Structure 1
Amino acid sequence: MARTSSSTKKAAKLANKGKGKKVRFQGGTIFPLAVAATLILGLALIVYSRQTLPSADESPPTINDHWHAAYGFYLCDTWYQLEGDLEERDANGQFTNTNFVRTGIHSHNDGVIHWHPYNSRGVGKNAVLDVFLDTYEVQLEDGKITFPPQNALGGQEVWEEGETQCDGEDAEVSVKAWDSFTDTDGGTRYIANMDQIRVANDGMVFAIYFTTDDAPQVMPPWAADLPQLGAIDSGQILPDDLLQGTSSVVPTDSGVSDDTETGSTDGSDG
């Protein structure tokens, strides 16, 4: 009984001795400081990675270039252009569209990509079709095109292989690129990595299709007017007749057949 009483007294004494003392990590304060420093560094790296501009080579386009490229979507049997020029300003003259400010790449409801990059996101090797599409929140994937609600033709946002049909027939996503609006060939056809097609020179043409196998795949009908349409961005006033046929939905056109097909964006065909 005496042993039990003695053990109890020792335990109580130790408990009282520890009251009011702070718990310390093994090794003192070094460990918690190291954990805090790691967290702060991690957060800093995340912020830096989001805000840092991507590197680019010295190849054109540069921030001093102002290029124009014709583009259009051919969805089943209808030519379509994205709406919104994105250059809205507030009362102080500042741009209000953050997508536009991020790159400076946009269109003017005219079927023309106005490529005058503000920073390295749209120059050199970074100058790819996705930079323009991303500004309008359009996603171009292998087998699928997704539009935001404000730019969905007929309210249909998703055009997907195996899900969306054209008059009851299966269709596929592809892109054709021409080095110049004056080209008379069938262009270069892409069926993969389509969003990474290079914008390699001024005057190119891009056509994005969701079509059946037998549908014509040609340049957008307004591509021939690219010099005049591009001049609008430079402040030149054009006669009204030059703007005919450039509404958001344009009647079906026909023309030459495919010339070249590729599943990647390698090579010099843009």
Structure 2
Amino acid sequence: MGKASSSKKIKRVQAAGATRSPGQRRQLGFPALIAAIIVLGLVGTAFAVAHRRTNEEVRPVVGDNWVAAYGTYICGEAFNLGNLDNVVEDAPVDLHADGLIHIHPTDEENSGAGAVFGLFLESVGITVGDGTLTLPPSDLYPEGKTFTDGDECPGEDGGEPQEGRVALYQWPPQAGENTDPRIITTNIAGTRFTEDGQTYVLAFAPRGAEIGFPPSHDRIDDPDDTEPEVVDSSSTTTTPSTTAAPDTSAPEPTDTTPGG
């Protein structure tokens, strides 16, 4: 009797131990799962908050009113965009009568990282691709005009014609005559307006041409909010002030280079 009773007790203890072990593992695994979910939730929340703050801090934002000097330069001549038949009303980025680009975002899509040069191009009817520039119809070009990398510009003083290229020249605020422009040759439309008071010249000109500030550069500190008016002439022979853009034969590793 004693031995049988002892055997039964041992079996009961073994059975009890066998049934408790999986239960213990389940009890330990469940809290670990909850902890993992909480950690992932906190990480996701922190990332979302940081991302939102980053977007909110990228200027210009709705309520800002920035200006940028602008000029269009074609083979040694300044092209006047005064005849703005295709101007977009209430555009978030547009050209005013002072010759300055006015950047005043209206919503999240055209503010911050969305405040790009392409918005201005759309407002005046200019189309730019990699290596191409199409001007809207004007008195000078009644059917419009497209310039492509490799097209020739007349030689200066009777010299040999030179191949031109499409490029956007960008100067920082407070730039002086000795400040080299940033030269952008790809994704021009995607170039961001990053600061108030920048200067831009959209050009078709030979590599290394002297591209200087447009006349509106002198009006950056005294902008006029008057909307643009239609004028009779669309072209002048006035060239921008000559600030040399140093040429370089080195390949461009990115969309932009500090010179020619």
**TM-score band, normalised by the shorter chain?**
0.5 to 0.7
Q: 1:130 aligns with which of 118, 139, 144?
A: 118
1:94-105 maps to which residues of 2 (within 5 A)?
99-101=88-90, 103-105=91-93
SS at match of 1:149: coil
What percent identity do the matched residue pairs reach?
Answer: 26
Assess if the C-alpha contact under 8 Å between 2:183 and 2:256 holds in 1: no
Q: Distance in 2 between matches of 1:98 and 1:257?
A: 31
1:82-231 maps to which residues of 2 (within 5 A)?
82-83=81-82, 99-101=88-90, 103-150=91-138, 156-167=144-155, 168-183=161-176, 184-228=178-222, 230=223
Note the alpha carbon deviations across 1:179-216, whole angstroms, 9 max, x for none.
Answer: 21434411111121111111001000111111113420
Q: 1:249 aligns with which of 225, 228, 236?
A: 236
Distance verdict in 2 for CA 1:135–1:74, change over 3 Å: same
One-letter identity of the residue aligned with 1:138: I
Distance verdict in 2 for CA 1:145–1:234, change over 3 Å: closer
Q: Distance in 2 between matches of 1:259 and 1:226?
A: 27
Where in structure 1 are there 5+ consecutive unaligned residues? Answer: 1-55, 87-96, 236-246
Tell me the equivalent position of 2:255: 264
Tell me the equivalent position of 2:75: 76
One-letter identity of the residue aligned with 1:249: T
SS at match of 2:89: helix
Q: Distance in 1 between matches of 2:193 and 2:235?
A: 23
Deviates more, 1:161-170 or 1:133-142: 161-170
Assess if the C-alpha contact under 8 Å between 1:174 and 1:189 holds in 2: yes
One-letter identity of the residue aligned with 2:99: G
Q: CA deviation at 1:100?
A: 2.7
Assess if the C-alpha contact under 8 Å between 2:98 and 2:226 holds in 1: no
Distance verdict in 2 for CA 1:121–1:98, change over 3 Å: farther
User: Which consecutive aligned stretches of 4+ in structure 1 deviate over 4 angstroms post-superposition?
Assistant: 151-156, 259-262
Tell me the equivalent position of 1:244: none
Distance verdict in 2 for CA 1:258–1:60, change over 3 Å: same
The TM-score with structure 1 as length reference comes to: 0.60
Q: Distance in 1 between matches of 2:127 and 2:173?
A: 25
Q: Distance in 1 between matches of 2:119 and 2:208?
A: 30
- Superposition CA RMSD, Å: 3.2
The TM-score with structure 2 as length reference comes to: 0.62
Note the alpha carbon deviations across 1:127-158, whole angstroms, 9 max, x for none.
Answer: 11111101112111111101121486576511
Q: Distance in 2 between matches of 1:60 and 1:69?
A: 14
Number of corresponding residues: 188
Q: Distance in 1 between matches of 2:84 and 2:60?
A: 21
Assess if the C-alpha contact under 8 Å between 2:149 and 2:165 holds in 1: yes
Assess if the C-alpha contact under 8 Å between 1:128 and 1:196 holds in 2: yes
Where in structure 2 are there 5+ consecutive unaligned residues? Answer: 1-53, 156-160, 228-233
